[in-house]
Chains A and B, each alone.
Chain A
Amino acid sequence: MTIDEFLEKISNNKKRFTEYNDIKYSKFKAYAEIQNITGLIEAIPFLLSSNHNSLPGYIQGYEPIGILNYQPSSNAINYIVRKFPAVQPVPNKNNGPVVELMAIMGSAGTIAYNEESDIDYWLCIDEGSIDTKTIEQFKSKLRDVELWITDNHNIETHFFLNDISKVKDDIFDADEEDISGKALGKLLKDEFYRSSILLYGKIPFWWAIPPGSTDENYEKYLKVVKDSQFKDDFIDLGNLNIVQKEEFLGAGLFQILKSLGNPFKSILKIGILEKYLLEEDKSTLLCNRLKAEIQKGNYDTGFVDGYIFMFNQVLEYYQKKAEEDPFALEVLKRCFYIKIDPRLSEIGNIEDKKFIPEKQSIMMDYTKKWNWLSAKIRQMDDFHNWELTALNKFWNNISKLILKTYKKILDNIETQIIEKQFTGDELQYISRRIRSSFSYGTNKIKPAISFNDNPIEKFLFIESISQEDGSILWLLSKGFISGAGSSKRSIMHKESSLLAILAWIAINRLFQKNVTRIEIKSRYQLLEKTFVRELLNELTLHFSPKKVNIKNKYFFHDPFPVLNFIIINLSAKYPKGIEDVYYLYHNSWGETIYEKYEREIDLSAILTKLLNGAVEHSDTFINSVYITSPYPYKASKSFKSILFLFNDIYEFFTVKEPDEIPGTITRKYLTVLGGNFILFSHQIVNKENKVTSNVFNTELTMLYSLSSLQGIKNIIRVNPLNPELNHLKIIIENFRADAVQIYYQKARKYCYFFVSDERGSIFFFRKKADNFQDYLTRLYMFSRNIIIQVKKNNPESVFNNKESKGIEIFKLDRNDLNKCRISEINPSKDENIFRHEKKVVPLKLSLLLLESGELGYRFSLPDGGISENLTRTEIEAVSGEMSVLMQTNQGYNYSVTDINFSNLDLKMYKNFTTYGFTEKNRFELLIEKGGNF
């Protein structure tokens, strides 16, 4: 082929694409007109490419990025003038940086589009030619405009900003993770090429070249075109030819996982996956198949409509296999019909086809082909009113189909292909997740089988009935007008608790305030009905699964809560404290769970779960947690303090320190709940964040557990509303990262010592009041000695800084009302310490590693010798001997004054004072535990 012939071909393909795109666009516009959003749709590019303080998305000091080839239409101008009188619509600038391609993706312009559908926009820019600040400002504008459209037009709109060169490499804005590598990007590109409608800017060059072109040819063609008259017509978003089966498997499985809550989407996705993996020798992507038809000038609906095109591909595959699995084919057809919801039985006998809307006309063709009788069509049209049994049966069939197909895929794919993509553990998680979506335990709330994007009901009826075994069952019915015109009710769902019913309504978006009338009839439970209605509204607003962002990597771990909703004292009429707590959450696998608790202390279990999720997903408290209660409890101090606690602890574990390097800080949060001390600790295990909680009955046990923190930096926070913790609060607030701080508090029987080390760990020691001066002196000696060791072993230690404070000593006073204050004592000028030190016989503790893996100890004895190696148990056993030695050797005491780590090969013990204090504490406690002190 000569260059001219080639360019003619390019010109021809360009023309075909433009025609095809125009058809799609006109269909979209037709829907937009019905929806009355033409003005908005045509004005959106104007909103994005302007920056006026009266317009949504205004960013101060931002020089807008334009949109190539966009000029506001009359519809857009009218819309702008009407909505924003202060704004003068001016032509779009094209001389600065521009969006080189703006397109709509997804169901827009297809048979599946309706007024509830989301609209996804793709914007492509050359990031290299625009400064980072401008890009960030643009992104911020996009978010603002998204929100404005949702709020003002009730249309969920998303803008995905892509860098042209990244798209070329199959990396997209929406593709936030790297788990399945490029494969997911390739699938996304396939979807983009076959389902997008180009609005403004250049045509993707891929559309101009023959289907199935190799990457090498793509580049060759591109080079030729760049030197031709078409050089400004195309945008290079990269080629897309084939995807290897194993890559496809990885990416496809994720798509299935994400679509599990949506039955029809799942069936289509898994169907395509099965078709690609089992049918094709080479995975010819759907986009190439489509391009072949379009370049032939075949603008049949089956090709122009991306949704029908995809459905036909799967249908064709199942038809081929109909003999071995007729059941699958039937499920697919029914799902498709219900999804499109054409209501063919309501059309009647319209003779002239041209009066039949396109959607119905297309579906009539299908049902005719499938030989569906009118009774069957009526039955399908009545899907919305199906009884529970029929619904469940249908759901089971869908489940069976998905599981069967999944199994077939796994069985047929060579193991090594799978292993290339996933580890055994990962694959197990995927299987677990898929199975889990079809199994329902008592606490799991099953999603409704809805194909409807607008499921809001006008009338809902909730009632409780007593079952034979005495338990109560809650039924949810909806009201509808029967074919005969009379009002009827049909049971939609049943649950064992009212909250589960309410949650089910919320997650399935059946309720909308001011639209849905709800009636509640309960014979067995006192219910504040107004609160229940209000609760339903709160659930709908704050517990929508749509708020949950599930990432691919979540499927490789046990599920954790992502969106939390807590109701306190739902069924308690006049509660004194906390009498019941309902905990509802959406987890990272897309499941909805509810749990019931009865005591205040149970809040710690809820918090632990919730925090384990929070440290993984890192969403803000306001987005992730909602706590409510009926009045009057909601107005109580107790409720407010719970609200504060949840917020405070959440922020503590999720908000990072400035410049924090992930994984270097351990955090502990201390609070009082139900009269117990609760310590929440954050740990990292196998790079996974874990929050655990421990309950302590006494302050003493809690204080001893505060020690032993492993992070390079440790942060402890106490609930500021708990006066019982004021002493710790004051110590924490006084923390210095370049000192060992000793605090002492004298009481009648005991004296208490706290040590805050350079990493923020806090150690607690309790001694008899008589030993105060001796212990303080020894603690001071110990601190001095360990700092010397750390300085020697760790040149980077803060103690090697000239400004380091070394050791600080504070007297801590705490009165009966828990009011605390501290006053500093200068140890180098303290006569008592100085005098006492002269009398002290030092005890040096030496640590070593025993064969068993535990630490062994030896220590200096009053005769200057050293004990043999002792295990922890043996230390307890020599407690009596220690007591004798103390009686007979004045100045000798088991309180450690120095420590030797040189026999240990564990660097971690030597770099900080932390482990020294831990082992000192342990040794002394073991001796004390021996019973002679």
Chain B
Amino acid sequence: MSSDINNLLRDKIPEIQLDLNTVKIDTTVPFDLYDEYGNVVVEINTPLTEPLIKHLKSTGIKYLYYNPAQSKAKENPAGLDTGKNVLDESQQKESIDLAKEVLDSIKSTIDFTPKSITPDKIKKTYKHVDDILNHIENNSDSIFIPFNKLKSMSEYTYIHSSNVSILGALLGARLEYNRTVRVRMGVGGLFHDIGKVLVDDKILNKESQLTEDEFRLIRNHPQLGYNLVKDSRELSTLEKSIVLFHHERPDGQGYPFKYDYNSYTGNVPKEVRLLSICDAYSSLTIKTPYREAFSPKKALRIILNSVYAPFKKKSQFLPADVRDFIRSLGFMLNKGEYFFEKGETVRLSSGEIAVIEEMNRLYPINPKIRMITNKQLKALDRPVTIDLLREPSIFIAHIFDRSTMVQAGSKS
């Protein structure tokens, strides 16, 4: 008998039985839970969520067992919310409160030195993101609607930072990045606009057209933020890069460095580029006192329309990044629906205009299309049908829309 069997069984008797038909949903047991055969099925302190229970039942498991006499309970991670809807309003509020707490604490210091962000605050942020990730990972097929209602413009940065943090962590998880990167994307999201605390609220909240100077001040926020965080021992290069590069873009119109395509792809890490998309998505979907929010569908279309393609003069994101964002979060953000449909007219990255014939799930921006023009936009005599799945280098770079095209990006 191998030692693993003995070890697994050591805790078997006397044991307590949990009937999966009657166990309270979200019960957390501070012991490993075994099946009839002594397999550890669920680890210590794992919430018995409804999906988990349903799944176990579907595999034929009706009862789980644990042995309180011999297992050693671990401390339940503080703040771990075992609620089913992880990111419901109240939970997102916690995130917003944390963003407020962190950003306000910097504001309240007089000198705005890097010491304004205390290690405790950063640790708290890490923990918070970690907790959020626990929920996100356990509810991988739920939808996510970021908090989007503002009472006043003064709340904007907090809510937006919180949204970007959650979206960043979620995206990291969906792309199977390791846990550390997921957490850092979340923390980076929370801190990405930290430089704005040094910009006058009057400018940030200004309703009328900004002057060139005011624009310049706002555009300086990544650099200001970076100055605040660059010497922090608690924050990693990734978070610092997020603060610094989140407004860079491949068309040379980003800031602070105005990178061109090559510098952009060479200097800005993939995780930061992805977070920029999260930043854009959050900005577009928050309703402010001055403008209506875009629907998730519309916001996703705007993001796709901002993807780099050779025929475009302006672009904000790289195709591979948009593809990853859409694959990972597209359905989740858009309540499980496609954000464009069969029959819509699109422009391909290679320049032709086409009509969508059939959607592809694995490569959503590579549907089957009917090409109706050539690259010079001259109508084809005989439209050609192509499955873009077979031509992965060509993708939808623009969806035509009856409404006005809006440049993606935050107010800044």
Contact = CB atoms under 8 A, between A and B. Distances in A.
A562 to B, nearest CB: 24
Interface stretch (A192-200, A680-688, A820-828): A680-688
B35 A884 contact: no
Contact of B140 (A882, A903, A911): A903
Interface in A683-701: 683-687
B90 interface: no
Nearest to B19: A686
Given A866-B175, A907-B43, A885 B37 contact: no
B119 interface: no
Nearest to B32: A907
A379 interface: no
Interface residues of A, number: 58
B199 interface: no
Contacts of B39: 710, 712, 907-908, 911
A853 B362 contact: no
A476 B5 CA distance: 58
A685 B42 contact: no
Given A663-B36, A868-B361, A908-B35, A853 B327 contact: no
A737 B5 CA distance: 12
Nearest to A889: B392
Interface in A835-880: 846, 848-856, 858, 861-863, 865-870, 874, 877-878
B220 to A, nearest CB: 35
A143 B208 CA distance: 104
A130 interface: no
Contacts of A870: 361
Interface in A777-831: 794, 796-798
Central interface residue in B62, B141, B323, by most chain A CB within 10 Å: B141
B62 A851 contact: no
B144 to A, nearest CB: 13
Nearest to A863: B392
Given A867-B362, A887-B390, A849 B43 contact: no
Interface stretch (B50-58, B298-306, B396-404): B50-58
A324 interface: no
B362 A861 contact: yes
B141 A710 contact: no
B330 interface: yes
A229 interface: no
A907 B390 contact: no
Interface in B97-144: 137-142
B362 A881 contact: yes
Contacts, number: 166
A906 interface: yes
Contacts of A302: none
A861 B57 contact: no
Contacts of A882: 362
B381 interface: no
A855 B140 CA distance: 10
A887 B173 CA distance: 30
B62 A888 contact: no
Contacts of A797: 4
Contacts of A663: 36-38
A900 interface: yes
Interface in B1-57: 1-9, 12, 17, 32, 35-43, 46, 49-57
B63 A888 contact: no
A907 B35 contact: no
A684 B36 contact: yes
A908 B40 contact: yes
Interface of A: 659-661, 663-666, 683-687, 710-713, 737, 794, 796-798, 846, 848-856, 858, 861-863, 865-870, 874, 877-878, 881-882, 884-885, 887-889, 900, 903, 905-908, 911
Given A884-B390, A903-B137, 7 more contacts: A852-B51, A865-B324, A866-B175, A874-B361, A888-B392, A905-B52, A907-B32
25 contacts: A683-B60, A711-B37, A712-B8, A712-B39, A794-B4, A798-B4, A853-B50, A853-B51, A854-B54, A858-B176, A865-B320, A866-B174, A866-B324, A866-B327, A868-B174, A868-B361, A882-B362, A884-B390, A887-B390, A889-B392, A903-B137, A903-B173, A903-B176, A905-B43, A908-B40
The 4 closest A-B pairs by CB, nearest first: A853-B54, A796-B4, A684-B36, A853-B55
